[in-house]
Structure 1
Amino acid sequence: MQSDSEKLSSASATASDRAPIDEGDQGQSETIALPSHVAGSGTLDRLVETARDYARAAASENTLKAYAKDWAQFARWCRLRGTDPLPPSPELIGLYLADLAAGSGPSPALSVSTIDRRLSGLSWNYAQRGFTLDRKNRHIASVLAGIRRKHARPPVQKEAILAEDILAMLATLPYDLRGLRDRAILLLGYAGGLRRSEIVSLDVHKDDTPDSGGWIEIMDGKDGGGALLTLNAKTGWREVEVGRGSKDQTCPVHALTQWLHYAKIDFGPVFVGTSRDGKQALEARLNDKHVARLIKRCVLNAGIRSDLPEKDRLALFSGHSLRAGLASSAEVDERYVQKQLGHASAEMTRRYQRRRDRFRVNLTKAAGL
């Protein structure tokens, strides 16, 4: 008759044999394979590789990197304490979460949102190794609830870029090829309420490149037409309609067509790098960090929020400032803004609205008081 400790040791050994611990391993190669009783063949082997490709596509590259880092940090934490991360132990993970919230030694205490994301990373990693981590287990749920109650803070919101800010930022850009591109990025991102990853993932046509996150279609119409963006976004596929502006200088569709024309882009990524002299478009797709850097640079050059030190101004603005700007500036029914941003709820849209008449709908008076 085995003791509980012997059972645990046996389970750990079995788990280790089945999925050896590698801090950089994401577990997918071991998870997706031919069953042991099935004879291999060229066709089946190719299907295994195809299945692995689809599994990798289930999450973005950045998400997979974050999950791999989460597992490496947890595995190191376990090793330093003489324990094993496999099989999953709710008690051990509860202690790990408490340590993250309290901070130990040189490691600072983490925010509630970061701890929650770390837990999601562990859940994913355990699933890849054939285990299930029950987040509702009392050892995990009660510790996490206590962390939220004691340490939760309202989310830090980035400053919204409003219409007058965009105009000032556009005025700082040169009129070379690079300036045309950056002008199109700012106007399209603002009018479309796009995430920075959505901006740079656009292709000219559907299926131009394997890493495409959507494509564009320039359309004419009785109301002036515009650009229809089909996006494979964070929340799934959605269409974003970007209408033409009142004048060419501030029209996102005009800026987009000008960039594509002078950059001679008719296939592949819409937004690419330029040569050092800014006169020739290259083939490589821009990284989404370019959007954040562009916004911060233009904010400084345009003198926006010049009442603050430069460091504070840089911290206030990011890629999300474009989405918040559209939500705050568009004088239309809230449901249209919600659709444009791709939000599942009006409450999420309201988080992006930095300036709105909060009491325009007065339920107190409507209730007779």
Structure 2
Amino acid sequence: MSELDRYLNAATRDNTRRSYRASIEHFEVSWGGFLPATSDNVACYLVAYAGVLSVNTLKLRLSALAQWHASQGFPDPTKAPVVRKVLKGIRALHPAQEKQAEPLQLQHLEQVTRWLAQERDQARSAGDQARWLRATRDSALILLGFWRGFRSDELCRLHIEHVQARPGEGITLYLPRSKSDRENLGKTYQTPALRRLCPVQAYSEWLGASALVRGPVFRGIDRWGNLSEARLHPNSVIPLLRQALERAGIDGEQYTSHSLRRGFATWAHRNGWDMKSLMSYVGWKDMKSAMRYVETTPFLGMAQAEVPLI
């Protein structure tokens, strides 16, 4: 790979590159389209999958096609009026409510944290190193993910060298890059210590148990209690969360890694945070993104915490 190709590849995120590659394959192989495509070809492709694929998925397919044509020096057929009108018609004729992850209620956060603490104590007494480490790690990941409003990829990108925890005070976390940091400038996040459900204490307990001093914060653990050198994959956060909830007696099927972020956003909104403060804390750039995460329907368990975040 040339130096030019290396920098061009670095400009596109791995997940985006994989999604675009899959989208182009879908257009060519699954549908039988040809590249470069005409605007009529693209419009017919949209019609073929109207009502089958969501509008958001179709928009992703269009973005991939636009990127391919631009990179190859061909005119972009996705910008043609016929394509825009077809997409608008699909949106009108196939309206679909966007599926949202269930926000993790505060009472369930308390329940799963309490269970993990019991699990940790039982494993330690039984000399079960793997179970003890997993319970300690999972508690730190869930509490930090909730109170910081992190995505799964942000949790998995955390490195010990970029985290400063001060028990009883707070924690500072630096991410060199994240989905919301389009320019890859890096961003520093802060979260205070709490009297209960404290992410700072949970993080410190995990580092003490794991004896880690550098590298990824959250890693895989084998059945003998050995820690992986590699970070957890973001896709592993959903089963990790669901399994922890299930063990605590909570139906975990309705939750995803976004449940932590939505749970915090809803808690903050119901505890009087204005949208500007919430957007600044979590890192949202526009109101539309923020409102997607705030649960507006009242539900149980989102009572005020003892120590509000500031």
2:284 paired with 1:337:
no
Check 1:132–1:259 CA distance in 2 against 1; reply closer, same or farther (3 A cut).
farther
Counterpart position of 2:237? 291
| Paired position in structure 2 for 1:194 | 150
Which residue in 2 is equivalent to 1:67? Answer: 20
Within the alignment, does 1:57 sit opposite 2:7 as a pair? no
Q: What is the CA distance between 1:77 and its match in structure 2?
A: 4.8
Cα distance between partner residues in 2 of 1:342 and 1:59? 21
Aligned residues, how many?
277
For the pair 1:271 / 2:212, whether they are aligned, the reply is: no
Contact 1:78/1:84 (8 A) holds in 2: no
Structure 1 residue 187: Cα displacement: 0.5
Name the SS of the counterpart of 1:153 in structure 2.
Answer: coil
1:78–1:85 Cα contact (<8 Å) kept: no
Counterpart Cα distance in 2 of 1:322 and 1:141: 35
**Deviation digits for residues 5-43 of structure 1, max 9, x if unmatched?**
xxxxxxxxxxxxxxxxxxxxxxxxxxxxxxxxxxxxxxx
Aligned to 1:253: 200
Quick check: 2:133–2:209 contact (8 Å CA) kept in 1? Answer: yes
In 2, Cα distance between equivalents of 1:133 and 1:126: 6
TM-score (norm 1): 0.70
The amino acid across from 1:196 in the alignment is S
Contact 2:221 2:227 in 1 (8 A): yes
The aligned residue for residue 90 of structure 1 is 39
The answer as to whether partners of 2:173 and 2:188 remain within 8 angstroms in 1 is yes
1:235–1:342 Cα contact (<8 Å) kept: yes
Would the aligned equivalents of 2:166 and 2:200 in 1 still touch at CA under 8 Å? no
**Matched ranges for 1:16-31 at <5 A:** none
What one-letter code is carried by the residue in structure 2 that aligns with 1:262? A
- Is 2:170–2:191's contact at 8 Å kept on the other side of the alignment? yes
Look up the SS of the partner of 2:16 in the other structure: helix
Match of 2:171, as an amino acid? A
Amino acid at match of 1:96: Y
CA distance in 2, matches of 1:163, 1:101: 39
Q: What aligned pairs does 1:206-355 form with structure 2 within 5 A after superposition?
A: 215-219=162-166, 224-231=168-175, 232-236=177-181, 237-247=186-196, 250-278=197-225, 280-304=226-250, 314=253, 316-330=254-268, 331=271, 332-355=273-296
d(CA) in 2 for partners of 1:245 and 1:345?
28
8 Å contact kept, 1:328–1:356 = no
CA drift at 1:141:
0.8
Q: Contact (CA 8 Å) 2:138, 2:244: kept in 1 or not?
A: no
Tell me if the contact between 1:74 and 1:85 (Cα under 8 Å) persists in the aligned partners: no
2:48 to 89, 99, 105: 99
Structure 1 CA distance, aligned partners of 2:278 and 2:39? 42
Residue identity (%) = 29
Match of 1:41 in 2: none
Alignment gaps of 5+ in structure 1:
1-47, 103-108, 206-214, 306-312, 358-369
Q: Does 1:156 align with 2:99?
A: yes
How far off its partner does 1:292 sit?
0.6
User: Could you tell me how far 1:78 is from its partner in structure 2?
Assistant: 6.0
In structure 1, what is the equivalent of residue 305 of structure 2? none
Matched AA of 1:191: W
Counterpart mapping for 1:126-141 below 5 A = 126-141=69-84
Distance 2:250 2:134 in 1: 22
Opposite residue 230 of structure 1, the aligned amino acid is Y
Amino acid at match of 2:189: V
User: For the Cα contact (< 8 Å) 2:38–2:77, is it kept in 1?
Assistant: no
| Aligned residues: CA RMSD | 2.1
TM-superposition CA deviations, 1:188-232 (whole Å, max 9, x none):
000100001110011122xxxxxxxxx322257xxx431112222
Q: Secondary structure at the match of 1:268?
A: coil
- Paired residue secondary structure (2:191): strand
Letter in 2 for 1:49: S
Runs of 4+ in 1 over 3 A off after TM superposition: none
1:261 deviates by: 2.2
Q: For residues 336 and 239 of structure 1, do their structure 2 counterparts lie closer, same or farther at Cα, with a shift above 3 Å needed?
A: farther
Unaligned runs of 5+ in 2: 121-131, 299-310
Whole-angstrom distance in 1 between the partners of 2:30 and 2:227: 47
Q: Compare CA radii of gyration and give the structure with the larger one.
A: 1
- 5 Å-filtered alignment, 1:6-45, equals none
Q: CA deviation at 1:134?
A: 4.5
Deviation of 1:70 (Å): 1.0
- How many angstroms apart in 1 are the aligned matches of 2:20 and 2:79? 20
Match of 2:109 in 1: 166
Verify the 8 A CA contact 1:217 1:228 in the aligned structure 2: yes
Q: 1:196 to 1:78 in 2, by over 3 A?
A: closer
Distance 1:303 1:159 in 2: 16
